[in-house]
Amino acid sequence: MSEDRIIYLDNAATTLPNKDVVALYCELETKIFGNSNSIHKLGINSLNYLNKARESILSSFGVKNYKVYFTSSSTEANNLAIKGYCYKYSNRGKRIITSNIEHPSVLETFKALETEGFDVIYLPVNKDGIIEIESLKNVMNDETILISLMAVNNEIGSINPIKQIAEVVHKYPKANLHVDTTQAIGKIPFNYNDADMFVISGHKIHGLKGCGALIAKQNISFMPLINGGGQEEGFRSGTVAVAHACALAKALKIEMSKKNDISSLHYYLINELKNISGVELNSPENSSKYIVNFSLTEKKASVVVEALSNKGIFVSSVSACNSKKEPLSLTVKNIGKNDILAHNTIRVSLDDENTLEEIKIFISELKKILESIK
């Protein structure tokens, strides 16, 4: 393999920005630079671009009667959806529900609300990393105001049955369903109308870092987490980055129009990993084809990830949002695996641009590294 060749298999952490998206951003950042709140022509022109970006995003998702609120990331969008909603509607009830394998931007937000007097329920997941519908039914009550669950788990790729979850949630008039769709967009068939609120992160779909959005039904309101000039209908103050918003809309449109099928890559990777001694798969059978997670039973994952990196092959150990703080994967732990396996996870996250040749090289180099490590 050429020394300057890169095999990038960490797309769940971030993606390479699309050149057309970057070009659009650069053009708009210098040409459409007026403040969209200004009443002069430059401001009105910026506002028109901003409104078109909102319309494009709603069209890409195929939803009506929703609104788009631009944020800096899906982390901020999740915080606004959860905290902003709970603060606004706390007079209706204090029970809020999530699972024990959510992204930190959801789990940590729920933990914060728990210290503020909210009745937080952390649903367990089964061995396939999804919640059981009966377990949700058992904890729903008339005081429940919010359920927040991810569509696709960012570590093992498990897919929650959001349609069935929504049917349960919407039997309770006070309750709304927030879905962290960060890893679902463009990856799995999904009816976004099932969610009352959902989110998008630009850099996960070949867009730019620093842009995201919360999409919520028009009848839902929030207590703002950022106070100021009242932008984004007062829910998210701060001058809106028009170029970022338009770049996000373009990245989404491209992502949602993809027609590539990576199933063959996924199954090749799975089958090869099954035949390697000292490897145990963590991703369930019916998971996202874009994420494959496995544990090493005899070697240290961090050492293997570093060795792969030295060969120009990039994968991750644990989640990028956790890796610097906590070496143990709570997701793998909570699907029933032991501490050894939870400490030694490797995640391969694919993209439509990855090739079979790249996967073959990865498998070959992985085998060599495992054999060479004492």
Which residues form the catalytic set?
321
Closest CA to 140 of 112, 170, 118, 160: 170
Distance CA 250, CA 198 (A): 18
Handedness of CA 315, 317, 320, 324 (dihedral sign): negative
Distances from the Cα of 98 to the Cα of 116, 144, 196, 326, angstroms: 16, 11, 15, 21
Residues 6+ apart with CB under 8 A from 136: 97, 123, 147, 165, 168, 169
335-343 contacts: CB < 8 A, separation 24 or more? 335/101, 335/125, 335/126, 335/127, 335/128, 335/129, 335/156, 335/158, 335/282, 336/127, 337/280, 337/282, 337/295, 340/295, 340/297, 341/280, 341/282, 341/295, 341/297, 342/295, 343/301
Three-state SS string across 125-184, please? CCCCCCCCHHHHHHHCCCCEEEEEEECECCCCCCECCHHHHHHHHCCCCCCEEEEECCCC
Beta bridge partners of 7: 313
Distance CA 151, CA 131 (A): 11
Closest CA to 249 of 290, 310, 208, 300: 208
Around Cβ 40, how many Cβ atoms within 10 Å? 9
Contact 120, 109 (CB under 8 A): no
